[in-house]
Amino acid sequence: MGSGTTNVKNQKTWIAVILLGTVAVNAGAYLMVRSRKAAQPEPVATRPPVPTPDVAPPPPPVAPPSEDANAGLVRALRASGLAALEDRDYDRAVAQFTEALKLRPNDKDSDLTRLLGIATDLRSRDQGHAAQAPTPREPSPGRATPRTRAAKLAAARAAREQQAAQAGPQEEAKGGLLLVTSTPPGLVVLVDGRAVDLTPARLPVSAGTHRVVLAQGERRLYEETVEVEADAVRSLNRDLTAELTPAAPKPAAVPVAAVVPASPPAASAAPTGGPVAPAHTPEPTPPPEPSVAKAAVAQRGDLEVTSPGLYGEVWINGRPYGFPPISAQALPSGPARVEVRVNGEVKRRMTVEVEPGRSTRVRVK
């Protein structure tokens, strides 16, 4: 009886142990599967493409007009201001240069700023001279003419002092001003053989005759002898654009050998009394086509140089070509040495390949 009860208890214990083990194994397997599912990324549902209606794309934004649209008006205002400076109408010159600078607000480093400063200084100078001009003193109607000798001497001394005071500023103003402008600006100004400034220039000089030269590097473009009066302004304005534009070299002439017609053979002796046949003159052969000249021209190319960031004189292969933008034509094909010089000093230097029969553009930064 006692052993049977013990066996039943052992069986129940083993059944419970088996059930608990089964539950534990199932729970572990469930947790493992769940952790793997959590580690895998969930697939993203792809949305179907939304059909877009056939609508024309918006037009591209219209770019604002470039500042070069006002270049012609700026040049006209500059020329009008220079003419006003020559006429000593400084108020009009200041107005013209100010209006030109309004059209080019970002061009503060051009010669317009310096021309405006020169015109403003000259206007202030004239206004100062007008304010300092002595007004003639009228004799007071109530003052009686001195009758005694002492009174006459005192009046004469006062008159001499007044004349000396009026003549003092006139004696000090022994020099004058020389205003030199050019188109294009930036040319070297030589006064009496000495380089003094670049155009536009406002130069104080002594009264008298002076020799003024406008040069570009070693080239003398213009010379003139000017007369500067005491306490006066002498203006000199010249447009040297044509002198600065290099002329295109002419193609070299190809010598053509002269064709000498061969001497006709001696006519055979005609029978006595018979007609003599006229000698046949060969037609002149046309000269050959100058293919050599065409080949030489085809081996040349053009070079267009712009320098928006640096304003200086452009030299190509040791020859000046003026201020940018410039177009150098008929250059030998191959490497060309391009330099930008400011006041004779080389600021930029590069080598550009000139392609035969084509125009190459160069932008100097």
* Ramachandran angles phi, psi of 260, nearest 5°: -100, 120
Q: Are residues 177 and 233 in the same domain?
A: yes
Sequence-ordered list of residues with C-beta below 8 angstroms from that of 70, at least 6 positions apart, any chain = 103, 104
> Do 122 and 178 belong to one domain?
no
The model's pLDDT over 157-199, given as tens digits with 9 standing for 90+, comes to: 778 777 766 654 444 456 888 889 988 888 889 999 998 888 8
> Domain span at residue 188?
173-239
- Residue 317 lies inside a defined structural domain of this protein: yes
Gyration radius of the chain over CA positions? 49
Q: Let me know if residue 88 belongs to a domain.
A: yes
Cα distances (angstroms) measured from residue 113 to each of 72, 87, 101, 123, 233: 18, 20, 7, 15, 20
pTM score, whole prediction: 0.41
Query: Quick check: is 283 in a domain?
Result: no
Interval 76-98: pLDDT, tens: 888 888 888 888 888 998 998 89
| Residue 280 included in any domain | no
Tell whether 258 is covered by a domain.
no
φ, ψ for residue 340 (rounded to 5)?
Answer: -115, 120
Question: Three-state SS for 178?
Answer: strand
Enumerate residues 6+ apart whose C-beta is below 8 A from 107. Answer: 67, 101
Work out the widest C-alpha separation in the chain, in whole angstroms. 186
Assign residue 356 the CATH number of its domain.
2.60.40.1120
Q: Is residue 215, in this structure, part of any structural domain at all?
A: yes
Whether residue 43 lies inside any domain: the answer is no
243-253 core/surface letters (b: 16 or more CB in 10 A; e: else): ebebeeeeeee
Is residue 333 in a domain?
yes
Instruction: Give residue-wise pLDDT tens across range 318-340.
Output: 888 888 888 888 888 888 889 98
- Domain tally, the chain: 3
